[in-house]
Amino acid sequence: MCAITVLNTAGETCSFAYMIAMHTTTDNYFRALFEAGRHGDAREESFYAPLADLARAMAGLHGATGLTVTTLPKQTEAGNPDFRVWDGRARITGYIEAKKPGVNLDLIETSPQLKRYLHTFPNVILTDFY
C-alpha cells in the first residue's frame, strides 16, 4: 500500500486522507451556507449553525476533540460576541464575531465593538462566513 503525502502552506506534510477530509469539511460548510442563503431572505443568524459545525469539524480534524461552541452566549463585560468557543473542558479558548455575508469587514475591524472585543478577549475571529 502506498501512502500519499503533500506539503501544506506551512511546509508540513499532510496525508492524502487528511486533505480529503479538509476538502469534504469545507465543501459541506459552503453547501450549508448556500442552502441557508439561497432564498435571499436569510438574516445573519441563519448562517450560525454551519459556522459552529465547521469549528467543531476543524477542531476534530486537528485532534481537539470535545470542542464546544456556544452560539449567542450570555453577555460579557465587552458585549455580546456571536460565539464562545470552549476547549471541551472548562476553558474558553476564543470568541467569534460574525457579520452577514457581504458586509465590509474592513469597516467592522475598526469599529468600537471590535476594539472592545480585541481589548478584552485574547482570541477573536471576525468573519462574514466566507
Q: pLDDT tens, 69-94?
A: 999 999 888 999 999 999 878 889 99
Return d(Cα 101, Cα 98) in angstroms, integer.
9
C-alpha cell of residue 15: 496525508
Q: How many domains does the chain have?
A: 1
pLDDT for the residue 2: 43
pLDDT over 70 (residue 59): yes
Q: What is the mean pLDDT of residues 117-123?
A: 92
Mapped onto helix, strand or coil, the DSSP state of residue 42 is coil
Sequence-separated contacts (24+) of 20-25 with Cβ below 8 Å: 21/61, 22/61, 25/54, 25/57, 25/58, 25/61
User: For residue 9, what is the DSSP state?
Assistant: T
Q: How high does pLDDT run on average in the chain?
A: 87
Task: Give residues with Cβ within 8 angstroms of 33, minimum separation 6.
Answer: 47, 50, 101, 129, 130
Segments forming the whole domain that contains residue 67: 5-127
Query: What does the angle CA 32 – CA 34 – CA 38 come to, to the nearest 5 degrees?
Result: 125
Q: What is the mean pLDDT of residues 91-104?
A: 93
Task: Give residues with Cβ within 8 angstroms of 58, minimum separation 6.
Answer: 25
pLDDT for the residue 1: 40
pLDDT in tens, 29-52: 999 999 999 998 999 999 999 999
